A and B are shown apart, each in its own frame.
Chain A
């Protein structure tokens, strides 16, 4: 996956759409989210076959301090989850964002809306820091 094609949500997920028709959406945590997360103790990935509407809570990342919800940026059915992360929780936040994909959704063609490209997302994060 080419990170330059990633698009970003307000809630700090990145989305990559495959070239298939309808596309498969890969959903992961942005570098901004990974920077903010420390002390991870649990990752609750969705189950293969689960379906989500856009904006629905799909996955939970739990740190010592709090639970963070990860939202499905687009409607779809879960086809794959990144189980390998479960053994890497302590080092997960050191990984580049493209390695922290959480799950893949088979979409029905209805593309995601309201996403930012890399430049717009960078700016939004810079604004949030103030």
Chain B
């Protein structure tokens, strides 16, 4: 039984009633899979996958100093983020370690999702919601802002795959194909007031829908009825790893800086803008102590998080995420290693056996549609 404090999304009951194998994930009761991870992964790569991502934290920042506050705390400039634009960035501490990776949304609506007059929206990882809410609160002194945690009043559903945009268009009056990548807008979805963004965490085209909590079940059921395949956290991980997208706690943490994680694009070069971690990041950009590398293995044994990486037989780093790639048909891994070791003969120490590995350009998978 889940701990009493475990949170449920508006869809938790649906998952449990429809074959979802439920686990406690970052304090939320979530489905790992419904049928099979491989089947759900393939459905997303080939058709349309449907994901309950309501566990992610959704914050609305309002007031005259909203942009100034967020600009101070995120590594990308957001003060110029106009309505409809979305930017990926990192929240860092003074040492340049990553507290979370986030999406920032310009002037999002409707009010049913974001509250009244939201100047910016910030979506954070489920496991970091309390930490980020406290971080924002600790740094708001002197800023005229309202910070509204919208998480429990709302839900979030991702629809991803080659058929996703067409499916959403039929239910939202063409709203999905009107959005360019990393753009979002309020829309009417099958009679519900929602926010739709052209974003995702799978490497496929698609959208993420934010809605009021009460609208989640009818929206979800409608998408299932129209052919979207429910996908659990197991396939969510294999999909994002094939796309070489970072997962907080693995590729990112308070002791890993954005450059080591391969996310230099998420840090605006230091100009006249000040943000927390700026100076530490400027130094790190010039000389990262570690580097991210992609690896593939022969055979079928998976090298998972924590697996030591050897270069010419000597310790060179560690695997941050590893799985079996359904698309490549072989094990893949992301690792953090000593930059000087990247050119050596690489192997992975899996339960005492040194398995040969090859460096692989990232991402492992790139969509062609």
What is the interface of chain A, defined by CB distance below 8 A to chain B?
38-39, 41-42, 44, 62-65, 67, 130
For the complex formed, measure the closest distance between the CB of B190 and the CB atoms of chain A, giving whole angstroms: 32
Bound CA span A67–B1, Å: 24
Name the contact of A42 in the complex, choosing from B300, B323, B326 (C-beta under 8 A). B300
Residues of A within 8 A of B158 (CB): none
Q: How far is the CA of A39 from the CA of B238 in the complex (A)?
A: 12
A65→B38 contact, CB < 8 A: no
Interchain CB contact (< 8 A) of A62 among B33, B302, B326: B302
Asked whether, in the complex, the Cβ of A65 is within 8 Å of the Cβ of B300, the reply is: no
Offer 6 A-B interface pairs, CB within 8 angstroms, sorted by A.
Answer: A38-B36, A38-B37, A62-B300, A64-B238, A65-B234, A130-B1
Chain A residues, Cβ within 8 Å of B36: 38-39
Task: Determine the chain B residues whose CB is within 8 A of the CB of A63 once the complex forms.
Answer: 37
For the complex, what is the distance from the CA of A130 to the CA of B1, rounded to whole Å?
7
Specify which of A42, A62, A65, A130 is in contact with B32 (CB 8 Å cutoff).
A65
Does B301 belong to the interface (CB within 8 Å)? yes
Contacts of B33 in A (CB 8 A): 38-39
Q: In the assembled complex, how far is the CB of residue A117 from the closest CB belonging to chain B, in whole angstroms?
A: 28
A39–B38 touching, CB < 8 Å: yes
Question: Judging by beta carbons under 8 Å apart, are A64 and B323 in contact?
Answer: yes
The chain B residue sitting closest to A43, CB to CB, is B300
Contacts of A62 in B (CB 8 A): 300-302
Q: In the complex, what distance in Å separates the CA atom of A41 from the CA atom of B299?
A: 10
State in angstroms the CA–CA spacing of A62 and B37 once bound together: 13
A130 to B2 CA separation, bound complex (whole angstroms): 11
User: Is B324 part of the binding interface, using a Cβ–Cβ cutoff of 8 Å?
Assistant: yes
A62 to B32, CA, bound (A): 17
- Whether A41 contacts B37 in the complex (CB less than 8 A), given A62-B301, A62-B302, A65-B32, comes out as no
- Within residues 229 to 261 of chain B, which ones have a CB less than 8 A from any CB in chain A? 234, 238
Contacts of B238 in A (CB 8 A): 64
A39 near B300 with CB under 8 A, answer no
> What distance in Å separates the Cβ of B353 from its nearest Cβ neighbour in chain A?
10
Residues in A whose Cβ lies below 8 Å from that of B323: 64
Q: Which residue in B1, B35, B38, B301 is a CB contact (below 8 Å) of A64?
A: B38
CA distance A3 to B324 in the complex (A): 34
In the complex, what residues of B have CB within 8 A of residue A39's CB? 33, 36-38, 234, 324
Most buried by A among B1, B324, B331: B324
Question: For residue A67, which residues in chain B have a CB less than 8 angstroms away from its CB?
Answer: 302, 351
A65→B302 CA distance, assembly (Å): 9
Residues of chain B within 8 A of A41, CB atoms compared: 300, 302, 324, 331
Closest A residue to B38 by CB, please name it. A39
Are B234 and A64 in contact (CB-based, < 8 A)? yes
Report chain B residues within 8 Å CB of A65.
32, 37, 234
Complex: chain A residue closest to B40, CB-CB: A39
How far in angstroms is the closest Cβ of chain B from A64?
5
Give the complex CA separation of A39 and B36 in angstroms.
6
Q: Can you name 10 extra interface pairs (CB under 8 A) apart from A39-B36, A42-B300? A: A38-B35, A39-B33, A39-B38, A41-B324, A42-B299, A64-B234, A64-B323, A64-B324, A65-B32, A65-B37
Structural contact, A42 and B234, CB atoms closer than 8 A: no
**In the bound complex, CA of A13 to CA of B300 (Å):** 23
- From residue B238, how far is it (CB to closest CB) to chain A in Å? 6
Chain A contacts of B351 at CB under 8 A? 67
Task: Specify the chain A residue showing the minimal Cβ separation from B326.
Answer: A64
B37 with A42: CB separation less than 8 A: no
Shortest distance in angstroms between B59's beta carbon and chain A's nearest beta carbon? 31
User: What is the minimal beta-carbon distance from A56 to any residue of chain B, in angstroms?
Assistant: 14
**Does the CB pair A44–B301 fall under 8 Å?**
yes
| Complex: A6 Cα to B351 Cα, angstroms | 31
Complex: A39 Cα to B331 Cα, angstroms? 13
Q: Is the CB of A42 within 8 A of B301?
A: yes
Write out the residue numbers on chain B whose beta carbons fall within 8 Å of the beta carbon of A38: 33, 35-37
Query: In the bound complex, how far is the Cα of B300 from the Cα of A17, in angstroms?
Result: 32
CA distance in complex: A41, B238 (Å) = 13
| Distance in angstroms between the alpha carbons of A67 and B331 in the assembled complex | 13
Which residues of A sit under 8 angstroms from B32, Cβ to Cβ? 65
8 A Cβ contacts from B331-345 to A = 331
Question: How far is it, in angstroms, between the C-alpha of A38 and the C-alpha of B34 when the chains are bound?
Answer: 11
Query: In the complex the two chains form, what is the Cα distance from A39 to B37 in whole Å?
Result: 6
